[in-house]
Amino acid sequence: MGRVTADRGGRGRVRDRDQVAGSGAKAAWAELEAELGERATLVQFSSAFCAPCRATRRVLGEVARLVPGVTHVEIDAEARLDLVRRLEIVRTPTVLVLDAEGRIVRRATGQPRKADVIAALGEAL
């Protein structure tokens, strides 16, 4: 894998599925011991000393409680470096929106706004 650099201009921006690394994402998700949501899953990559990660956890938890069939899963990026590398996670928090089949349909880096998360779920549902 080549060198990966962070897109400094995309903080908190939700990108289209054409702009996300997804080739091995479904297989990578199968390695985790977490259940996919019935309709969609919000996967958050976090690190211990990341202040925006705590705020992102709150936002994603609220959205998961509001939208039926949506699950929020948080992954410690430092504990899962293999997955971080495979999915090209370059900073925390990074949020992946997975559809019911486990395919990545959206990706955001930085702290997302609640409205943006709900809008991104529209593509997964």
User: What is each CA distance from 77 to 36, 68, 70, 82, 102, in whole angstroms?
Assistant: 19, 27, 22, 9, 19
Q: What is the pLDDT of residues 87-116, one digit of tens each?
A: 999 999 999 999 998 889 999 999 999 999
User: What is each CA distance from 45 to 56, 121, 122, in whole angstroms?
Assistant: 10, 17, 21
- The three-state secondary structure class of 62 is helix
CB 44 within 8 A of CB 95: yes
Q: What is the pLDDT of residues 27-79, one digit of tens each?
A: 566 666 678 999 999 999 999 999 999 999 999 999 999 999 999 999 999 99
CB 79 within 8 A of CB 46: no
* The pLDDT value given to residue 124: 84
* The pLDDT value given to residue 1: 33
Q: Is the model more confident about 119 or about 26?
A: 119
Q: Residue 121: is its pLDDT beyond 50? A: yes
Which residues contact residue 31 at a Cβ distance below 8 angstroms, ignoring those fewer than 6 apart? 83
As a dihedral over the C-alpha atoms of residue 21, residue 85, residue 102, residue 18, rounded to 10 degrees, the angle is -10
In the structure encoding, which two tokens stand for residue 46, read together? 């976090």
CB 94 within 8 A of CB 45: yes
By the 10 Å C-beta count (0-12 exposed, 13-18 middle, 19+ buried), 102 is classed as middle
